Structure 1
Amino acid sequence: MSQVYDNFGVPQGFQAAGTYSGLCSSRVKLDVAMIVSRRDCSIVTDTAQGMTARSGKILVLHNGTALPEGMRGLEISKEVCQAVSTCVGEAPDSVALVANGVKGQYFRPSLLIHSLNNLTAGLDTDTQPLEAVLDNYGDVSSQTVSLGGDCGSLQGIAADGTDDSAGLCVIMTDAVVDGTMIEKALIQVKADMDTEHFTFIVMANGGAGAQPVGHDAFAGGIEALLVKLGFQHALKACS
Structure 2
Amino acid sequence: MPYQWMEGDVCAPKGFQAAGVHCGIRKNRSKKDLALIFSSTMCTAASVYTANKVKGAPILVTQQHLKDGKAQAILCNSGNANTCNADGIDIANAMCKSAAQALGIREEDVVIASTGVIGQPLPLDPITAAMPALVSSLGSDGSPAAEAIMTTDTCPKQVAVQFSLGGKPCAIGGISKGSGMIHPNMATMLCFVTTDAAISSEMLQKAVKQVADETFNMISVDGDTSTNDMLTVLANGLADNPVITQPGHEYDTFVKGLMMVCRQLAKRMAADGEGATKLLECTVTGAPCKETARKVAKSVVCSTLFKAAMFGEDANWGRILCAIGYTDAPFDIDKVGVTLASEAGQIEVCRDGAGVPFSEEIAKTVLSEKEIQILISMDQGDEKATAWGCDLSYDYVKINGDYRT
Structure 2 length normalisation: TM-score?
0.51
Q: Which residue of 2 aligns with 1:3?
A: none
- 1:64-213 aligned at under 5 Å gives the runs 64-69=79-84, 72-124=87-139, 126=141, 129-136=144-151, 137-148=153-164, 149-150=167-168, 152-163=170-181, 167-193=189-215, 194-195=218-219, 197=225, 198-213=229-244
More helix by share: 2
**Which structure is higher in RCO with an 8 Å CA cutoff and minimum separation 6?**
1
Q: Distance in 1 between matches of 2:282 and 2:88?
A: 34
Q: Is the Cα–Cα contact under 8 Å of residues 37 and 205 in structure 1 kept in the other structure?
A: yes
Please list every run of 5 or more consecutive structure 1 residues that lacks an aligned counterpart in the other structure. 1-5
- 1:134 Cα deviation (Å)? 2.8
Aligned residue pairs, count:
234
What amino acid sits opposite 1:141 in the alignment? K
CA offset digits 1:152-206 (Å, max 9, x no partner)? 2211123332359974322110011233222211221222231465532211111
Match of 1:215 in 2: 251
Other-structure match for 1:22: 24
Matched, 1:34 2:36: yes
Opposite residue 178 of structure 1, the aligned amino acid is S
CA distance 1:115–1:143, shift in 2 (3 Å): same
Structure 2 CA distance for aligned equivalents of residues 14 and 203 of structure 1: 10
Task: Judge which range, 75-84 or 40-49, deviates more.
Answer: 40-49
Q: Is the contact made by 1:67 and 1:100 (CA closer than 8 Å) also made in structure 2?
A: yes
**1:43 match:** 45
Alpha carbons 1:41, 1:56 under 8 Å: kept: yes
Indicate the RMSD between aligned Cα atoms, in angstroms.
Answer: 3.0
Answer yes or no: is the 8 Å Cα contact 2:46–2:208 preserved in 1.
no
**C-alpha separation in 1, matches of 2:49 and 2:283:** 19
Q: Distance in 2 between matches of 1:207 and 1:69?
A: 39
* Structure having the higher Rg: 2
Task: State the distance in 2 between where 1:142 and 1:158 align.
Answer: 7
Partner of 2:71, secondary structure, is: strand
Tell me the distance in 2 between the aligned counterparts of 1:201 and 1:143. 15
Q: 1:146 to 1:124 in 2, by over 3 A?
A: closer
Secondary structure at 2:147 match in 1:
helix
Q: Distance in 2 between matches of 1:233 and 1:58?
A: 36
Unaligned runs of 5+ residues in structure 2 are 1-6, 245-249, 268-280, 285-292, 297-329, 332-405
Deviation at residue 66 of structure 1 after TM alignment: 1.0
Report the Cα offset of residue 131 of structure 1: 2.0
Deviations 1:36-88 (A, max 9, x none): 11000123333324784341222111122112347622211221222222222
Amino acid at match of 2:262: L
Q: Which residue of 1 aligns with 2:261?
A: 225
